[in-house]
Homo-oligomer: A and B are copies of this chain.
């Protein structure tokens, strides 16, 4: 009886992402779960059914970068909803204006990913300049004894690095690369107060003044394909591109052409326009390092994220301020 009472007392949660066994157990221990992927229902039917319950769910946990948009239709379908927690650092999949109108608070992953993304960005940059992955292939193929020393690679230290987007991730990349003796410049909507780096109001001018260009901005209408043919040509035949933001920030077709023509020197890419599909032309290039949209996540940050998601939900249900709010109650 106590167990049933406890179960009944658990607050309802719409679960709109797949979770592993550990996280699922942690959520079930605290919340009454409406699991979209387990339901097998289409999204509107799933939401309507959940909303029709006697104690309808007041919070939703959603995945960033997935197909589900928390828009007016979503919010209308579950009027009981008061809180949306997303696993993303960005919230382009949540309509904040519609949430604000309905008094729905929103929490995101905060800066939990920024450190890992910044670390990975530096790994890709060194990987491209020093040909780490290509040399690893060379050694594994037995070519060192057969063909002699690997060709000389390119120095990182002292290079001019241009960062597009000096937010939580970009500023951490800057800090890391400063320690390598790189000269940091950046482009963003407006210059940041209290950073020692040179600001470029124009991304083309930033690329022209950079040996390496790192894309670290959010994806929105202003930054979609911010790196296109003109910017790549400004970066030039000695320049390398690193993208750890979103595939949509770069014109991928132009990037492939620039690499094929030698109009830029190389690229380190963690994100692509049509993931998990990667342009096959890149697979033959030794001046390219390719990883599978994994900059954002390590074992350690996955655990941190699970804790933070639960912390935000518990804060909401107990009437406390969210831990990492994007939108708070006014």
Q: CB distance A126 to B135 under 8 Å?
A: no
Q: CB distance B276 to A144 under 8 Å?
A: yes
Given A157-B116, A175-B179: A291 and B123 within 8 A (CB)? no
Interface string of A112-127 (1 = CB under 8 A from B): 0001101110111011
Number of copies: 2
Tell me, in angstroms, the Cα distance from A130 to B283 when the chains sit together: 20
Tell me, in angstroms, the Cα distance from A288 to B110 when the chains sit together: 32
Q: CB distance A122 to B124 under 8 Å?
A: no
- Least CB distance from A159 to B in Å reads 9
Interface residues on A, range: 35 or more
Interface string of A74-115 (1 = CB under 8 A from B): 000000000000000000000000000000000000000001
Contacts of A136 in B (CB 8 A): 127, 133, 289-291
Contacts of A154 in B (CB 8 A): 298-300
Q: CB distance A130 to B123 under 8 Å?
A: yes
A292 within 8 A of B: yes
- Least CB distance from A288 to B in Å reads 8
Q: CB distance B179 to A130 under 8 Å?
A: no
The one of B115, B130, B290 that contacts A298, using a Cβ cutoff of 8 Å: B130
A328 within 8 A of B: no
- A246-299 interface with B by 8 A CB criterion: 275-278, 283, 289-295, 297-299
Q: CB distance A278 to B127 under 8 Å?
A: no
Tell me, in angstroms, the Cα distance from A145 to B274 when the chains sit together: 11
Tell me, in angstroms, the Cα distance from A127 to B116 when the chains sit together: 13
Contacts of A293 in B (CB 8 A): 149
Question: A295 — nearest CB in chain B belongs to which residue?
Answer: B130
The one of B178, B292, B300 that contacts A144, using a Cβ cutoff of 8 Å: B292
Question: A125 — nearest CB in chain B belongs to which residue?
Answer: B123
User: Chain B CB within 10 Å — which of A132, A138, A277 has the most?
Assistant: A132
A195 within 8 A of B: no
A181 within 8 A of B: yes
Q: CB distance A139 to B278 under 8 Å?
A: yes
Contacts of A168 in B (CB 8 A): none
Contacts of A150 in B (CB 8 A): 291-292, 294
Contacts of A135 in B (CB 8 A): 290-292, 294
Q: CB distance A283 to B153 under 8 Å?
A: no
A302 within 8 A of B: yes
Tell me, in angstroms, the Cα distance from A137 to B283 when the chains sit together: 9
29 A-B Cβ contacts within 8 A? Answer: A119-B126, A119-B180, A120-B130, A122-B122, A122-B126, A123-B126, A127-B136, A130-B291, A130-B294, A130-B295, A132-B132, A132-B291, A133-B133, A135-B294, A136-B291, A138-B292, A139-B278, A139-B292, A140-B283, A144-B275, A145-B276, A149-B292, A152-B298, A153-B294, A153-B297, A154-B299, A154-B300, A155-B299, A175-B179
- Given A123-B123, A150-B294, 8 more A-B residue pairs with CB atoms under 8 Å apart are A116-B155, A119-B156, A120-B130, A123-B127, A123-B130, A144-B276, A144-B292, A176-B180
